[in-house]
Amino acid sequence: MLVHSKTMIILLLLLSPLADSAQSSDITLLDGRLIRKEFKAANSTGYLNDLNVKIVRHLVKHFDNPATQKWDLSKQGYRVKFEIDSVLYRVDYDRKGNWRNTIRSYNENRLPASVKSSLKEYLSDFNITHVTELQYQRTVSYFINLDGFKRILQVVVRDGNAELLKSFEKILP
């Protein structure tokens, strides 16, 4: 009967409103407590309670505590990945819970107009296909992939200045 009761609890949890905040493959029941599988790492019990309180405060303050989070723990610290409004986020923290950097990945329509204006020399012949935004300390850098008829470019924009990082020639049929 105990096994049947645990099965029913798991099913109820997965079908409840809590399931909307995390996909069923992202959560598991361990010792009667609900945890996210991705946080299970070496030297960790796997409970979200193991997170440094500074990390939790930062997430709530800056990202409104996203519903589905995938956690990794390494010797360097913690990493959380999540999505908000079609923007993929990766946020890194050191072992003491201090924020290190934030990486956002998105498409052209979320790129600030000021950054687009820095690309004006490239945009006449190229389309923006992907943006990776890196926020580190007080600096924001935009790594932008541009697709043209004969070439693909990787450009970085920092402090309003665009710099070509790489250029690839396409092989045309």
User: Cα torsion at 140, 143, 146, 151 (round to 10°)?
Assistant: 140
Domains of the chain (ranges plus CATH)?
Answer: 107-173 (3.10.450.360)
pLDDT tens digit sequence for 102-148: 999 999 999 999 998 888 777 788 999 999 999 998 899 999 999 99
The residue among 155, 156, 153, 154 whose CA lies nearest residue 170 is 153
Rounded Cα distance between 129 and 109, Å, is 10
* pLDDT, tens digit, 9 for 90 and up, residues 16-37: 333 333 333 344 333 444 444 4
Give the pLDDT score at 98: 95
pLDDT at 93 over 50: yes
Hey, what are 171's tokens? 């092989």
What is the pLDDT at residue 28?
Answer: 38
CA distance 139 to 125: 29
Q: Measured between alpha carbons, how far is residue 172 from residues 2, 27, 122, 151, 154 in Å?
A: 65, 46, 21, 10, 19
Output the pLDDT for position 33.
Answer: 43
Residues of the chain with pLDDT > 70, as a percent, come to 72
Q: Kindly report whether the global pTM for this prediction surpasses the value 0.75.
A: no
Residue 148 neighbours by CB distance under 10 Å: 14
